[in-house]
Amino acid sequence: MQSSTISTHKKQERSINDAFASHFAKSMFLTITGIAILVFIGTRMFTHIDLNLYGYMVGTITFIGGFFYRFIAWGERPPTKIIIKKGLKLLFRKNTAKTAVSHLGIYDFIRNRGIYRWVQHILIGWGCVLALLVTFPLVFSWMYFTMDGNGYYTVVVMGMDLVRIKADGIIAWFSYNALNISAIMVISGVCMALSRRLKNMQARAEQKFIYDFLPLYLLLLISVTGLLLTVQNIFLHGWMQPQMSLIHQFSVIVTLIYMPFGKLAHIPFRPMSVFARNYREHYGEQHMKECKVCGDKFVSVEQSNDVREVLGVNDMNFDMQDGFNLAELCLPCRRKYRISRFSGIPTHQVKVKEANQNARG
């Protein structure tokens, strides 16, 4: 009699992902837990919390949820997966710091389009960054000030006394007015952007109120109401300040909730441009792909292969009857080849380049 066989199940490997319903749930849980721990440390075990900033805290957490929702949905796309995966491997290239400064610090790619637009983005971008660097530590009580009896403030960072500053000194003045300075920068940049969008006929034809103008109006509302709080405090002895404080807080919260789902979403997504540039530069230095028609080197072999892989994942086949894939042609030849398919004239074999193929803008 054959002995009964006992089926053995291989023990499944378990990971932290098994505890959550989705990547979004895991990201939110870990982020909120991390923030709570940092608040616990920064507030000296919750002994120093400014409840006046509670609304900003709720708005910030809502923004984080919206950002993770957008980022995870975007990151699950096959092309994005490749950029993120290979970008992380290339993060410590020697040119990463230079690329980060160029793309995230001085906006070289915008300066190539014109000084006016470059100044406009510098004012808006760095005005917002300065405001965030001041606001978020205050909202989560990672930084606050305590007043000594001898005319000095003690700056407390993450629960530790960092430095003592004179209440009427230059450092204190910049601390008091950091948000005012950022507001003036943002107002200036937004006014430049609105002027360009309203006067430039091409820009006017391409703009939509909800997508293009609303973000600027929101930034303008935040900055103006923030400056009015200072004006009311200094010149009007606090007249109507509680009401204006609520209006300012409402404008900030609405903008934070809107940010991940509108045009302003490109701000937190912008660091990914460093990954993309590293990807292009690294593989471009190794081996370039030659166009099957004109022979020009137009893209790296790695990127060409990745494009064909992504197209295959999406069940998109661009293998031509001429024996090559459409992704193996440079952009000008690709356009001419598509014209030849419709017209019957072999325009892709003409060795004349387009007049605007190297246009910048």
Predicted TM-score (pTM) of the model is 0.80
Provide the pLDDT for residue 214.
Answer: 92
With helix as H, strand as E and coil as C, how does the chain read? CCCCCCCCCCCCCCCHHHHCCCHHHHHHHHHHHHHHHHHHHHCCCCCCCCHHHHHHHHHHHHHHHHHHHHHHHHHCCHHHHHHHHHHHHCCCCCCHHHHHHHHHHCCHHHHCCCHHHHHHHHHHHHHHHHHHHHHHHHHCCCEEEEECCCCEEEEEECCEEEEEEECCCHHHHHHHHHHHHHHHHHHHHHHHHHHHHHHCHHHHHHCCHHHHHHHHHHHHHHHHHHHHHHHHHHHCCCCCHHHHHHHHHHHHHHHHHHHHHCHHHHHHHCCHHHHHHHHHHHHHHHCEEECCCCCCEEEEHHHHHHHHHHHHHCCCCCECCCCCEHHHCCHHHHHHHHHHHHHCCCHHHCCCCCCCCCCCC
| pLDDT lower than 70: segments of the chain | 1-15, 345-361
Provide the pLDDT for residue 337.
Answer: 80
For the chain, which residues make up each domain, given as ranges? 22-264, 287-349
Provide the pLDDT for residue 179.
Answer: 93
Write out pLDDT tens, residues 229-240: 999 998 888 898
Provide the pLDDT for residue 209.
Answer: 84
